[in-house]
Structure 1
Amino acid sequence: MANLPYQSIPPLPEEINSTNIISRMVDGLGFRFYWATDGLRKEDLEFRPEKDSRNTLELLGHIYNLAHAANSVLGGSIKKKELTTYTTLREEILLLYKDLSDRLRAMPDEDLESYNYMGSAQSFPFWYLLNGQIADALTHVGQIVSWRRISGNPQAKGVNVFLGRKS
């Protein structure tokens, strides 16, 4: 897919509210993910800093699970797929985050109260997605940035995470 979302961060929301703030967090995650994973080579995907850690492709699979969980909990209807390639994982993760962000921007704040994350044995309010799936995905995106640098293929120059664009 040629036109993947998050080459840049979407324009600022018109108002400050809970759903727009969470949407913007997801947009920031999508932007960071886009550039962290742009142009990964086979050796980058196979890289792991030690034998017991995930390699980059396995991290992409984990981020996909996190993105799908966050999307599903907040009303997404994109079905989970069995993805194993860099291209399909990257595309699907970006589309999941875009779908989630778009839905949040259109959602009234009070609707957040009705969403719960169903863990293995109990239900959790949506708040746990922030410190769970969203924060965890940010951590793993940072790992990808570091690991690709170590494997000799640093992220593209000019990526400005503050402004949400690449110069």
Structure 2
Amino acid sequence: MNQTRHEFSDTDRRLLRHFLAAIAYRTQKAVRDAPDEFADFRAAPGVRTPHQLVRHMSDVLGYARTTFQGGTWRARTLSGFSEEIARFHQLLGSLGEDIETADFGRVTPGQLLQGPLADAMTHAGQLAMLRRLSGSPIPPENFIVATIDADNVGTDQPAATSEDADWYDAEDEPW
């Protein structure tokens, strides 16, 4: 990895912390009120289960922390899905603190966004897709008006501001 140290501006910090909060919000939307069997749902051979996916998301965030803290990171799988989710949110908080307080990082803010943060957001979307595939879909939502607070990356995320009643459901698509 590049050993050059990069400064983060206040604007960089605000945007990255808001993106972390958006990841927290979307992940909680995908796992909130999921049936117990959802954690072990496997869509196809070789596809991660939701439990494995959240552990991988923790790996991604732990790796992102190494760009500030140094060292290495590899998350061990926790036995319970709720514990896995709690660890993921704890790592979001720790990474948010790193972003807020560190003077420098080994990557640019753009690299942090394009790499581990975009990866985690992609996996939040995969969790939502797995909810639908497992027979427990989440309702559509207009995320532009979602109540996302950069200071809240924990498990206690607000309910949908408004479900998007005008959005097509998969069975109702016009094409």
TM-score (norm 2): 0.66
**1:161 to 2:143 alignment:** yes
Q: Could you say which residue in structure 2 is the equivalent of 1:7?
A: none
Q: Please state how far the C-alpha of 1:35 moved relative to its aligned partner.
A: 1.7
> Any idea what SS the aligned residue of 1:34 has?
helix
List gaps (5 residues or longer) in structure 2.
1-9, 148-157, 162-175
RMSD: 2.8
Q: Could you say which residue in structure 2 is the equivalent of 1:41?
A: 35
List gaps (5 residues or longer) in structure 1.
1-15, 117-123
Instruction: Report if the CA contact (8 A) 2:43-2:134 is conserved.
Output: no
Instruction: Report if the CA contact (8 A) 2:59-2:75 is conserved.
Output: no
Instruction: Report if the CA contact (8 A) 2:61-2:91 is conserved.
Output: yes
Q: Could you say which residue in structure 2 is the equivalent of 1:101?
A: 96
Q: Could you say which residue in structure 2 is the equivalent of 1:151?
A: 134
For 1:86, give the aligned amino acid: F
**1:115 to 2:98 alignment:** no
Q: Please state how far the C-alpha of 1:27 moved relative to its aligned partner.
A: 1.0
For 2:133, give the aligned amino acid: I
Q: Please state how far the C-alpha of 1:23 moved relative to its aligned partner.
A: 0.9
Q: Could you say which residue in structure 2 is the equivalent of 1:134?
A: 117
Between the aligned partners of 1:160 and 1:98, the Cα distance in structure 2 is 25
Q: Please state how far the C-alpha of 1:127 moved relative to its aligned partner.
A: 3.6
Instruction: Report if the CA contact (8 A) 1:47-1:56 is conserved.
Output: yes
Instruction: Report if the CA contact (8 A) 2:65-2:95 is conserved.
Output: yes
Between the aligned partners of 1:96 and 1:160, the Cα distance in structure 2 is 26
Paired residues, what number? 139
Q: Could you say which residue in structure 2 is the equivalent of 1:8?
A: none
1:19 is aligned, of 9, 13, 18, to 13
Q: Please state how far the C-alpha of 1:28 moved relative to its aligned partner.
A: 0.8
**1:57 to 2:51 alignment:** yes
Q: Structure 1, residues 56-99: CA drift from partner, whole Å, max 9, x if none? A: 1111111110121223323499x865332211110011111123
> Any idea what SS the aligned residue of 1:87 has?
helix
Bigger radius of gyration = 2
Q: Could you say which residue in structure 2 is the equivalent of 1:13?
A: none
Instruction: Report if the CA contact (8 A) 1:44-1:151 is conserved.
Output: yes
TM-score (norm 1): 0.69
Between the aligned partners of 1:96 and 1:52, the Cα distance in structure 2 is 26
For 2:39, give the aligned amino acid: L
Between the aligned partners of 1:76 and 1:37, the Cα distance in structure 2 is 31
